[in-house]
Chain A
Amino acid sequence: MKSSTSYSLKVFATGFIVLTLLSIPLFWLRSLCQTAIAELMPREIKSVDISPSGLVPPELENDPNVAQHSRVGASINSEVPSSIGLADYFITRLPGASRSNVYLASSDEAWMYFDKNLGQIVHQYDEKSTMPDNSTLRKIIRFYIGPKGISELPDEKLGRFFDPILDGNWIVRRWEKAKPRELILYDKKLRCFFRIDFDQRTVVKGPEVKKGFPNDHPIQIGRLYKNEFSLDLNWSAPHIKVPRKDADRTDLQANINDSFSIRLAATLKDADRTDLQANIKPIIPTGFWSDSGPYLLVLDETGRIELLDRETLELAGSAGWLPGPRSYFYSEQSQKPKDLLAYEVQALTLRTHYFENPEEVITTFGDTLYNFARQPSRVDKEYLGMFAASVSRDGTALVLTVFDKESKRITTEHTKLSTNVSRPSEYLHSSKAAFWRAPWAPVSTIGKYLAENLHPPILSLASYFTASVFEAGSGHRALFLLPNSFVAMVGRDSRGNFAERFASALWWILPSIVLAAWLAYWVSKDAVVVGLSGKARFYWIIGTIAFGLTGYITYRLTRPKITLVTCANCGKPRRPDMDKCHRCGSGWQVPELIPPAWRVLNGTEQVPDSSTADAEQAVPE
């Protein structure tokens, strides 16, 4: 009993070691194939453009001077950094990242974090003010923010937050040392939005988000994105041609990275059209970070995007939803954030700045990264709509959708490969092209398939059943289960009944099962030779079928290392550590040893033994 327990322990221990050590190179092999598929995708199926965007007011978009219409584009980037767990760990846990409680830490004096013990957000920053004697006074300001108020000292009366989600755009602006006045956050447990005004030092609580309503599980507000390394979303305003003489005018200045505004087309009306040069400038430049104006975008776990009124803190209606990309596998066409490898949403706002002189009206898209010589007396913001891009779980399909301010879908574009130049309507979706049409893609696809089939069949089946549990993007770090495998993609397919889907899964892992069965046959044969009991043989066969190559290697490492001897009775190899031959059941005879017939034992007459029994000689007369 003790030895069988010890043997079982040894087998399990060895099995786990083999499984781990075998899974690691298989991971790299799968990763290599997956990366090759992603990298070898032709550029044309990695990006998509929509031009004109459909969001710019017609008077601007259709201006006769427009040389280049507004454009929104998205492209897939290689997602290698996030597929490595170590990189992902640091990317998501450093201050400001999605899984850190520290929202910003730009210096020793300027930081913000959520104190779980207090249940309050602590924000400190420094403020410089010029004194009458022109000296600079630096003041450190610290706030403790709770749902019931804001204070410079910690106070239980401020209440507790439990699981706050902050407006991502606000955090980004603070990192850039801008000082946005208001911060909006949502607490998942309190199910309310809060608006914090740092100037007025107030916290305003919005109404509770009722359960069962659309968007009752917000997961992000403000800046909606996932896996920013994997997806590029960019926007370009309409560009106009300007006369050469106006090319250097600062009020017409249009450095695309700067947010200087220019006067409207009123100044261009007088332009001499024949004098137009090839200088193209955007009519209205924009900053990179979009602003949703009077609203804040709120993303729900179902993929629905709502507008939050900044003033009333109430949900003001739908803005749109995350689009579902068209993947090779039906199951990957989900629009839920959890099922998408990457997504990004940007809103578009038209800002109108009014100055003391009412004729001076300046309009921009974009955010507050402007630098006027004087401050406007009023700024009107008009939400125009949003564009959303998402990438499928396997990273081979991208979709870009533009929604207007009524949340109506204006345009949707999927990445695709044209298969017939003369007939643009004939195309292949990018996912299929990525797996089969790109150069070397079939090699990578088949390589990935074979690498997955070297994995233990039982774990492949487990991947099938657990496929839906894994969030897209985290599955890249899976070692034992394969949430990004072909069989897992079948597992997420909700079409058909259970039997059909399971049969389909078994079909996908058929090479793995065949290999396991073949190895189990060899294990069974060897187990008979080394004299393992029938029960042990049975367990080994089952184990090898379940774990395939891992099971076989484990067997080879743990099989009894005993040199077999030839049984004197049946002539077959037998184990010397067993009392009886496991084939014929006979006892032991060692013909190569020839002991003498006599014995002198124990101080008494000899004890007869079997070796002397035949040696009795007849006493001669």
Chain B
Amino acid sequence: MDENVIKIENLAKYFDGRCVLDGINLKVPQGCIYGLLGRNGAGKTTIIRILLGLEPATRGQTFLLDTESASLSPKVRGRIGCVAEGHNLIQNYKVSRLIKLCKDLSLQWNDEFFRLLIDTFNLPTDRRVRELSMGMRAQLNLALAMAIDPELLILDDPTLGLDTVARRQFLKLAIGLIQQKDRTILFCSHILSDVERIADRVGILAAGKLVVDCPLEELKERVKKLRVIFPESAPQNLYLTEMINQETQGREMVITVANWNRQKQAILETFKPSSCTEVPMSLEDIFIECTRPDSNSTES
């Protein structure tokens, strides 16, 4: 079996003539927790839906557990747990009926673990799904996804609607899950502190492309934000390749650069700055820098 549990090759997706994804290539190895990030409308949910076979790709191919997404067999689906955006559950079913249905359809079901989750989340089983709050639906969805003991867990904004305590519980569960051997998680979230807490690798979508795809720690190493002070006014002709952002105010220039290396260092030093200090960035800071609308583009 391929060590990559998820593979995306040249994926393109159009909606009514509008391009959303333009040539996405992505590989998620086994045992990895991959955080897929992007602004609203970047295409994260689209990628997940295509991976799960819920949406056809316009061009390109996607593979889950060595199987093409468009032809996932029930056996392969049985190894995948999924929490979709919006928590699409059958609204008019009672929770107990929904649980029974999911249990009957599953290839394997960890009833003890599931009961634990239900008790932990304190979910009422005699109510209809539409009568549950958003957070409770999220919890139910999570419990249903985890009860099958999946090899691969795909989560699309799983903590949407969860309160802080529930979010922390989820993170704990997720960590507990990945500590089991060979478990892989792909998840999208807007709460980057959670992603930072648990993800091994991150990917960032922008303008239909995957502009970042690397381990989290390496991302922090390779994307640098520098505050550079010049003796006189900041030079206008300071150009560095792969510059993400540049802000100038008087003698001070703040630049964010991707793939910082010695060559770029040397180039900067030729401008004889008075000082050059690194501004520490969290994942959230990096994300904001990478996805700002005025971020340097091909044409600029």
8 new A-B contacts, CB < 8 A, other than A600-B211, A611-B209, A614-B298, are A578-B59, A594-B297, A594-B298, A595-B207, A596-B206, A596-B298, A598-B259, A620-B267
**A601 touching B213 by the CB < 8 A rule?**
yes
Residue numbers in A under 8 Å from B210 (CB-CB): 601
Distance of A619 Cα from B210 Cα, bound (Å): 26
Of the candidates B59, B207, B237, B290, the one whose C-beta lies within 8 Å of that of A593 is B207
Of the candidates B14, B17, B211, the one whose C-beta lies within 8 Å of that of A596 is B211
Within 520-565 of A, Cβ neighbours of B (below 8 Å) are at: 562-565
Least Cβ–Cβ distance between A602 and chain B, in angstroms: 6
Name B204's closest neighbour in chain A (CB-CB): A600
Assess whether A616 is interfacial by the CB under 8 Å rule. Answer: yes
Q: A565-B19, A595-B206, A596-B244 are in contact. Are A602 and B296 (CB under 8 A)?
A: no
Distance of A602 Cα from B259 Cα, bound (Å): 12
Of the candidates B17, B212, B296, B299, the one whose C-beta lies within 8 Å of that of A601 is B212
Q: A565-B14, A596-B207 are in contact. Are A577 and B239 (CB under 8 A)?
A: no
Distance of A238 Cα from B16 Cα, bound (Å): 86
Residue numbers in A under 8 Å from B297 (CB-CB): 594-597
Assess whether B238 is interfacial by the CB under 8 Å rule. Answer: yes
Q: A565-B17, A620-B237 are in contact. Are A599 and B59 (CB under 8 A)?
A: no
**A595 touching B16 by the CB < 8 A rule?**
no
| Residues of A in contact with B, size category | 20 to 34
Residue numbers in A under 8 Å from B298 (CB-CB): 594-597, 611-612, 614-615
Distance of A595 Cα from B205 Cα, bound (Å): 9
Residue numbers in B under 8 Å from A602 (CB-CB): 213-214
Distance of A602 Cα from B214 Cα, bound (Å): 5
Least Cβ–Cβ distance between B289 and chain A, in angstroms: 10
**A619 touching B239 by the CB < 8 A rule?**
yes
**A576 touching B22 by the CB < 8 A rule?**
no
**B212 touching A600 by the CB < 8 A rule?**
yes
Least Cβ–Cβ distance between B41 and chain A, in angstroms: 12
**A600 touching B14 by the CB < 8 A rule?**
no
Distance of A578 Cα from B206 Cα, bound (Å): 23
**B238 touching A600 by the CB < 8 A rule?**
no
Q: A565-B17, A577-B59, A599-B211 are in contact. Are A593 and B299 (CB under 8 A)?
A: no
Residue numbers in B under 8 Å from A603 (CB-CB): 214-215, 218
**A597 touching B242 by the CB < 8 A rule?**
yes
Residue numbers in A under 8 Å from B23 (CB-CB): 588
Contact with A along B19-32 (1 / 0, CB 8 A): 10011000000000
Distance of A601 Cα from B258 Cα, bound (Å): 10
9 contacts between A and B (CB under 8 A): A563-B17, A577-B59, A595-B206, A596-B244, A597-B297, A599-B211, A600-B259, A620-B239, A620-B270
Contact with A along B238-272 (1 / 0, CB 8 A): 11111110000000000000110000000100100
Assess whether A618 is interfacial by the CB under 8 Å rule. Answer: yes
**A600 touching B213 by the CB < 8 A rule?**
yes
Distance of A562 Cα from B244 Cα, bound (Å): 36
Least Cβ–Cβ distance between B183 and chain A, in angstroms: 21
Q: A594-B207, A595-B298, A602-B213 are in contact. Are A564 and B17 (CB under 8 A)?
A: yes
**B267 touching A600 by the CB < 8 A rule?**
no
Of the candidates B59, B207, B212, the one whose C-beta lies within 8 Å of that of A576 is B59
Most chain A CB atoms below 10 A, which of B237, B242, B244: B242
**B207 touching A579 by the CB < 8 A rule?**
no
Name B219's closest neighbour in chain A (CB-CB): A600
**B242 touching A606 by the CB < 8 A rule?**
yes
Distance of A563 Cα from B18 Cα, bound (Å): 9
Least Cβ–Cβ distance between A168 and chain B, in angstroms: 64
Contact with A along B101-136 (1 / 0, CB 8 A): 000000000000000000000000000000000000
Distance of A598 Cα from B238 Cα, bound (Å): 17
Residue numbers in B under 8 Å from A597 (CB-CB): 242, 296-298, 300
Residue numbers in A under 8 Å from B158 (CB-CB): none
Name B261's closest neighbour in chain A (CB-CB): A605
Name A617's closest neighbour in chain B (CB-CB): B239
**B59 touching A579 by the CB < 8 A rule?**
yes
**B214 touching A600 by the CB < 8 A rule?**
yes
**A605 touching B259 by the CB < 8 A rule?**
yes
**B238 touching A620 by the CB < 8 A rule?**
yes
Distance of A579 Cα from B61 Cα, bound (Å): 13
Assess whether B98 is interfacial by the CB under 8 Å rule. Answer: no
Distance of A621 Cα from B17 Cα, bound (Å): 45
- Which A-B residue pairs are the 10 nearest by beta carbons? A598-B242, A563-B17, A595-B207, A595-B209, A598-B258, A576-B14, A593-B208, A594-B297, A617-B239, A600-B212
Least Cβ–Cβ distance between B145 and chain A, in angstroms: 29
Residue numbers in A under 8 Å from B208 (CB-CB): 590, 593, 595
Least Cβ–Cβ distance between A325 and chain B, in angstroms: 63
Name B266's closest neighbour in chain A (CB-CB): A619
Assess whether B169 is interfacial by the CB under 8 Å rule. Answer: no
Assess whether B295 is interfacial by the CB under 8 Å rule. Answer: yes
Distance of A603 Cα from B203 Cα, bound (Å): 12
Least Cβ–Cβ distance between A539 and chain B, in angstroms: 24
**A595 touching B211 by the CB < 8 A rule?**
yes
Assess whether B222 is interfacial by the CB under 8 Å rule. Answer: yes
